Amino acid sequence: MPRAIWDGVISFGLIVIPVKLYGATEEKDPVLHQVHAEDGGRIRYRRVCEKCGEEIPFEGIARGFEAPDGRVAVLTRQDMTQLPLRSGKTVEIVQFVDESEIDPVYFEKTYLVEATGVGAKPYVLLRDALAATRRAGVVKVALRSRESLALVRPRGDLLVMDTMLWPDEVRDPAFARPSAEVIASRAEVGMAESFIEQMTGPWRPDDFSDGYRAALEQLVAARLSGVPLPEEAPTSADQGGEVVDLMAALRASVEAARKRRQSAGDASPGADSGQGRTEEAG
């Protein structure tokens, strides 16, 4: 059973739902520490003040904001706890919205919402009403002493809460937009659409796996047992090259996708590899 990271109430209108929040995701990568390469000893860091040179205990550490002119505003833990957070233990749904209107770039982290005590009936009421109207509730919630915008929405038999970035935290994307002078021809778009159709299949998350994590676990196991890792031959994904003829590359991509689909039958594309996520992160 995971540990709840927040407990309080969600309210809409005059209805109050006592709830707890749990992280909806968890890290699976092996935990790696910094160690001395020669003997494996852990590397430890000391908290040293650069002004007086003294090592500072945790309870002596505060937060600080440095102004452009060099002045430092020291903020103690008491200062931080006294900041007004109206959304402390009660979060009120202030608006209902169509979730499809929200750009996914705003979403930060998802939490599972569990009803507690007498909250089960109003929890089910809110869940079913949101599902029937295809709406989500907008709230403000204080998690770990920081106020966040959030969305309460149904997910199957559960309610979940997605914390979101504030509007001024989302960067203006105009700088990354391609020049208006760059135009894809109708034939090129049509060929790209054909490729997309060949690679389209039902979303089955279990078909995908983290190839990097599997390789890291294999490497750790090999080091612990003192055996060498088998060498792998480079794959076609490792052999990059400049695309000279866009249409030719699209045709070849469509044909390759068609052949893979025929050989795999009805299997979902990407089911045999977890490389996609690792390559994007790299």
> Is residue 149 assigned to a domain?
yes
Tokens of 9: 């109430």
* pLDDT for res 86: 56
Flag whether 69 is in a domain: no
Q: How many domains does the chain have?
A: 2
Specify the pLDDT at position 282: 34
Pull the structure tokens for residue 273: 């590899």
Residue 269 has a pLDDT of: 47
pLDDT recorded at residue 73: 93
CA distance 134 to 153: 9
Residue 28 confidence (pLDDT): 85
The token duo for 34 is: 């910094």
Mark whether 95 and 150 lie in a shared domain: yes
Structure tokens at 265: 């039958």
| Closest C-alpha to 148, from 90, 78, 65, 87 | 87
Could you list the residue range(s) of the whole structural domain that residue 209 is in? 179-231+242-281
Q: What is the pLDDT of residue 93?
A: 93
Q: Are residues 118 and 250 in the same domain?
A: no
* 152 and 105, same domain (yes or no): yes
Please report, for the domain that includes residue 148, its CATH number: 2.40.290.10
Last residue of a domain, one of 167, 189, 208: 167
Regarding whether 145 and 20 lie in a shared domain, the answer is yes
Q: 161 and 187, same structural domain?
A: no
Same domain flag for 140 and 183:
no
Place of tokens 């500072």: 56
Last residue in a domain, options 111, 137, 167:
167
Burial class (CB in 10 A: 0-12, 13-18, 19+), 136: buried
- Residue 156 carries which DSSP code? T
Q: Do residue 208 and residue 269 come from a single domain? A: yes
The last residue of one of the domains, among 115, 145, 167, is 167
Indicate whether 46 belongs to any domain. Answer: no
Same-domain check for residues 149 and 17: yes
| Helix, strand, coil content of the chain in percent (nearest 5) | 35, 25, 40
Element (H, E) at 213: helix 211-225
Residues 21 and 116 in one domain: yes
Q: Are 81 and 88 in contact (CB under 8 A)?
A: no
276 with 205, same domain: the answer is: yes
Is residue 253, in this structure, part of any structural domain at all?
yes
Shared domain check, 187 and 218: yes
pLDDT averaged over consecutive 10-residue blocks of the chain (282 residues)?
A: 89 92 88 90 91 91 92 87 68 92 94 95 96 95 83 96 94 91 90 89 88 85 82 56 70 85 63 40 35
Helix (H, G, I), strand (E, B) or coil at 108: strand
Residues 89 and 217 in one domain: no
The Cα 105–Cα 101 span in angstroms is 12
Residue 109 falls inside a structural domain: yes
Residue 199 maps to a domain: yes
